């Protein structure tokens, strides 16, 4: 993947999700793309300014700080405010593929962008960056009570994630219904599973 634009320093706004916290702040950088901010950091951490730190699943008051050092190894994924294109001469043709990314305690559904290959398996082997971008993302966590949210771009920590592409939602009880009962999973008009989840596994509102 090529570098994003570089130039004058700017305050890049992002939200970092770790195992226990949501950390919102700004990082001073010359990069314009979320993945470049994370993958090309000079150290194993980022120093954020104007920080707001909130803990999952608690009613405690959020903590504000002028500065915070965040270990990149603890980051599950980062959310950017907008997707920025790279320089035209550095773009590599990619094929978007809908995927489910499991990165406990969160799940993400969006489009990963793969180098064209003869099959999906080989394309997935090409995802070797530390933080991988996903666009048009929905993310949530049932276990820590984080409701479904959307973002134009997310970069997830590849070492903490499992990528499922393509994927489908299945009934874990399928095949063991009581004798005489139908084992078919009802489907909605659009092909999704009727119930609490849609066709991508996202909890319905």
Question: pLDDT digit string (tens) for 23-33?
Answer: 999 998 888 88
pLDDT at 196 over 70: no
Reported pTM: 0.76
**Lowest-confidence region among 5-14, 35-44, 115-124, 179-188:** 179-188
- Give the pLDDT confidence score for residue 137 in this predicted structure: 95
**Which of 2-11, 34-43, 121-130 is most confident?**
34-43
Of the options 3.40.50.300, 1.20.140.10, 2.102.10.10, 2.30.30.100, the CATH number for the domain spanning 10-80: 2.30.30.100
Nearest Cα to 135, choosing from 192, 80, 74, 204? 80
CATH fold for domain 88-164: SH3 type barrels. (2.30.30)
- Give the pLDDT confidence score for residue 153 in this predicted structure: 93
Instruction: Name the burial class of residue 180, with classes exposed (0-12), middle (13-18) and buried (19+) by CB atoms within 10 angstroms of its CB.
Output: exposed
The tens digit of pLDDT for each residue in 121-137 reads 888 888 888 999 999 99
Helix (H, G, I), strand (E, B) or coil at 78: strand
**Which of 70-74, 122-126, 181-185 is most confident?**
70-74
Domain with CATH 2.30.30.100 in the chain: 10-80
Strand order in the sheet with 45-55: 63-71, 45-55, 21-29, 10-18, 75-80, 146-157, 131-141, 106-114, 95-103, 162-164
**Paired tokens of 33:** 């793309």
- Give the pLDDT confidence score for residue 179 in this predicted structure: 56
pLDDT at 17 over 60: yes
- Give the pLDDT confidence score for residue 75 in this predicted structure: 97
Cα–Cα distance, 79 to 153 (Å, whole number): 6
């Amino acid at each position: 993947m090529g570098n994003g634009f570089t130039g004058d320093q700017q305050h890049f706004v992002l939200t970092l999700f770790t195992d226990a916290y949501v950390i919102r702040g700004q990082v001073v950088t010359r990069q314009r793309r979320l993945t470049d901010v994370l993958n090309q950091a000079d150290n194993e951490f980022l120093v954020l300014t104007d920080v707001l730190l909130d803990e999952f699943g608690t009613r405690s008051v959020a903590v504000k700080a002028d500065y915070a050092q965040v270990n990149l190894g603890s980051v599950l994924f980062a959310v950017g405010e907008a997707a920025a294109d790279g320089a035209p001469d550095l773009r590599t043709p990619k094929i978007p593929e809908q995927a489910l990314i499991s990165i406990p305690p969160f799940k993400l559904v969006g489009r990963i962008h793969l180098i064209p290959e003869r099959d999906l398996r080989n394309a997935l082997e090409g995802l070797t960056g530390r933080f991988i971008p996903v666009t048009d993302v929905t993310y949530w966590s049932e276990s820590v009570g984080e409701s479904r949210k959307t973002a134009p771009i997310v970069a997830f920590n590849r070492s903490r994630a499992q990528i499922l592409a393509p994927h489908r939602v299945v009934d874990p009880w399928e095949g063991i219904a009581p004798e005489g009962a139908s084992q078919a999973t009802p489907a909605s008009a659009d092909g999704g599973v009727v119930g609490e989840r849609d066709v991508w596994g996202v909890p319905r509102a």
